């Protein structure tokens, strides 16, 4: 008489595998979120540098003096086409407005953006745009 061997997983084995997967996920997900926020902050800081350069080029090209307030639309001509900043509507990745812009003054990071990202980014990170 032939006997068949059963090759199935027991409920305990499945529960152990699920516990290991949940443990790994509980470690990986917060790290992913922190990494994503840091990347967003770096992108916003780079956008601030590009906008600062755009304000300078705008002032030189249009012969604007100190205290002039260009809009984001005025600065679009001085931002590289095809970039996310160029195709954007003047808001950062979190939906907060860039600006206001002033000739001979550094642009400022939106305080709401700083607050949202403050759990992973120190305030000194935003310098000199804060």
pLDDT digits (tens, 9 = 90+) for 45-68: 999 999 999 999 999 999 988 889
**What pTM, to 2 d.p., does this model score?**
0.79
Alpha carbon separation from 86 to 36, 71, 80, 109 (Å, rounded):
22, 13, 7, 17
Whether residue 104 lies inside any domain: the answer is yes
Whether residue 2 lies inside any domain: the answer is no
pLDDT tens profile 86-128: 888 889 999 999 888 999 889 999 999 999 999 999 989 998 9
Whether residue 64 lies inside any domain: the answer is yes
Question: For position 1, what pLDDT does the model report?
Answer: 60
What kind and span of H or E run contains 28? helix 11-62
In which domain, by residue range, is 70 found?
43-126
Quick one: pLDDT band at residue 82, thresholds 50, 70, 90? confident
**Three-class secondary structure of residue 21 per DSSP:** helix
Question: For position 67, what pLDDT does the model report?
Answer: 86
* Count of domains observed in the chain: 1
Alpha carbon separation from 130 to 6, 42, 108, 114 (Å, rounded):
67, 14, 5, 9
Whether residue 85 lies inside any domain: the answer is yes
Whether residue 113 lies inside any domain: the answer is yes
- On whether the CB atoms of residues 108 and 129 are closer than 8 A, the answer is yes
Whether residue 119 lies inside any domain: the answer is yes
């Amino acid at each position: 008489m032939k006997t068949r061997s059963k090759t199935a997983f027991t409920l305990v084995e499945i529960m152990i595998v699920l516990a290991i997967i949940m443990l790994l996920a509980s470690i990986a997900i917060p790290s992913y979120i922190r990494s994503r926020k840091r990347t967003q902050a770096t992108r916003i800081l780079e956008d601030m540098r590009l906008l600062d350069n755009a304000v300078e080029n705008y002032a030189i090209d249009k012969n604007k003096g100190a205290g002039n307030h260009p809009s984001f639309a005025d600065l679009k001509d001085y931002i590289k086409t095809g970039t996310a900043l160029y195709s954007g509507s003047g808001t950062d990745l979190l939906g907060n407005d860039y600006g206001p812009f002033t000739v001979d003054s550094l642009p400022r990071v939106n305080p709401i953006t700083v607050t949202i990202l403050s759990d992973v980014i120190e305030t000194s990170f935003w310098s000199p745009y804060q």
